[in-house]
Chain A
Amino acid sequence: MFQEKYKKANDSIPCNQELKNSLMKKAEAPSRNSLLPWICATAAVIGISVFSYMGFHQESNTDVLSSVASNTPAVSVSQTPKAETKKEKQKSEGTAGIVKQESDRVMAVAVAEQEEVKTETVIESEEPVSDIPATASVVMPKTVELEPDMDYSEEIPQPAEKTEVPENQQITGGGGAAMASVGGASMAIGASAPRGSETEDSALTEDADVETVDGETQGEESPQPTSTPMLEPALTEENAVSDSQ
């Protein structure tokens, strides 16, 4: 009985249908959390479209200003192709110039390499000559001039006779004789002053060889057979001077 009466009393109390309907509508409506991604997406799309429109508007304004500055009709469409063609021409010319310059550079490099090769070959060809004592290159023409006049077969033993002279007198006397007799050749010797010591050394070695061997092994052990032409003209000239005296 109590339960039935209590249930009847509660069931007889009407509910607030307006409140119930409002809560039902509230449940149907999507919440803000669900709308947030859509709001963000729409805001991003609107922002991107606005920025793109602003960028396009600025570009159009710059085209109009450039056309006005060049005193040409403000037709951006007609101006831009010309500028582009000019730029393209300049670019093509620039590329052609660059190609030419590059080809010239390549040619110059090739020529320079060839010249370097030539100079190297020349230097290589000259190096053996430089190895030869400077006196030989200078004295050789004199020997050619003296060949028809003198008889070498008879005068070859003469250096062997001078081996008896002391070393100091022989070096100084020999050099002095060469300087005095040749004249022009002394200039060449003087020009090759740095190598004078070498010539003196070679002369000393030659003299030493001459002293030790006494003329017998002169031709075999002498390191530079070209020294004989240096000595020969000197001797011949001395002989010639002596003959002339």
Chain B
Amino acid sequence: MQKKKSPVPEQTVIETYFNMVYKLALSQTKNKTTADDVTQEVFLRYLKHSEKLKTEEHRKAWLIRVTLNCSKNVFTNAWSKKTVPLEDELVFEEQETGEVYYAVLELPSKYRSVIHLFYYEDMSIEEISKVLERAPATVKSQLFRAREMLRKKLEGGEADVSGKIQKGE
């Protein structure tokens, strides 16, 4: 991964990582409006602490970590406990893609983050372990368990998932 020196314009950072943050927040919150709130909170924090982030790798890891923490806080704070999120259904053009996506959303949160970072962000197990501050073996076991869960849910997709894991390793 390329290491760029700061300062990087904040607009370029938002332009580059807005999609990543939003999709990760959506995979964690399962709600668009809540994902919007989380994304807004993440970038507002970034505007305050942008000077501390020196490298591009550090910046990406910081954004992922803050997104996961904000997504957790949405469900733990008192305000979210007293409110009910709006029901919004994600509409996909292809049915298969929709099934895969909803199968991932049905996984526990710790497996969803690993699956999302591994399959969507194309991050290795070591990178995921650094971002999530977990041991690589833990990330590997979580990824294996998540794959087994998806295999049960998605009939006929086991070979593709195992093959991708082997590439990553």
Contact = CB atoms under 8 A, between A and B. Distances in A.
Contacts of B101: 5-6, 9-10
A231 B141 CA distance: 150
Interface string B32-72: 10001001100110010000000000000000000000000
Contact of B14 (A5, A6, A8, A20): A20
Given A12-B92, A19-B40, A6 B100 contact: yes
Interface in A1-31: 1-3, 5-10, 12-13, 15-16, 19-20, 22-24, 26-28, 31
A6 B98 contact: no
A7 to B, nearest CB: 6
Contact of B160 (A2, A8, A15): A2
Given A2-B160, A10-B101, A13-B23, A27 B47 contact: yes
B11 interface: yes
B156 to A, nearest CB: 9
A20 B39 CA distance: 9
A12 B94 CA distance: 10
Contacts of A6: 97, 100-101, 104, 115, 119-120
Main SS class of interface, B: helix
B100 A28 contact: no
A9 B11 contact: no
Given A6-B115, A7-B119, A27-B14, 17 more contacts: A2-B154, A2-B157, A6-B101, A7-B120, A8-B94, A8-B97, A9-B97, A13-B23, A15-B19, A15-B22, A24-B14, A24-B15, A26-B44, A26-B47, A27-B9, A27-B10, A31-B47
8 contacts: A1-B157, A2-B160, A3-B119, A6-B119, A9-B101, A10-B27, A23-B43, A26-B47
Interface of B: 9-11, 14-15, 18-19, 22-23, 26-27, 32, 36, 39-40, 43-44, 47, 90, 92-94, 96-98, 100-101, 104, 115, 119-120, 150, 154, 157, 160-161, 164
Which 3 A/B pairs are nearest by Cβ-Cβ distance?
A9-B101, A27-B10, A1-B160
